[in-house]
């Protein structure tokens, strides 16, 4: 077992995952927001949140967490 703890940078959801089985847990993704790459869990990386741009839920979480709007992604 070589599991690492991955933490969603929007909701702080956590998951243990072995990086040998993929660089992020299944369904998780790295997204570039405002020029910075952040790690998102399977819920927040789901394409339904990103269809045509970040969803209102994503924008709200981002603002709460980082104190700024998503201006580009």
The residue among 17 and 44 lying less far from Zn ion, judged by its C-beta, is 44
The residue among 12 and 18 lying less far from Zn ion, judged by its C-beta, is 12
**At closest approach, how far in Å is the CB of 42 from Zn ion?**
8
Dihedral-angle region of residue 12 (phi above 0 means left; psi in -120 to 50 means alpha; beta otherwise): left
Binding site for Zn ion (CB under 5 A): 8, 10-11, 13, 41, 44
**At closest approach, how far in Å is the CB of 73 from Zn ion?**
16
Which tokens in the block code for residue 6?
Answer: 């991955």
Q: Which residues is 36 bridged to in the sheet?
A: 33
Q: CA nearest 44: which of 12, 17, 22, 67?
A: 12
The residue among 24 and 41 lying less far from Zn ion, judged by its C-beta, is 41
């Amino acid at each position: 077992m070589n599991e690492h703890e991955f933490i969603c940078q929007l909701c702080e959801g956590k998951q243990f995952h072995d990086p040998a089985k993929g660089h992020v847990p299944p369904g998780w993704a790295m997204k570039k927001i405002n020029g910075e790459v952040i790690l998102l869990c399977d819920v927040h990386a789901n394409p339904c949140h990103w269809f045509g741009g970040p969803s209102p839920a994503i924008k709200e979480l981002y603002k709460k967490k980082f104190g700024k709007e998503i201006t580009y992604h």
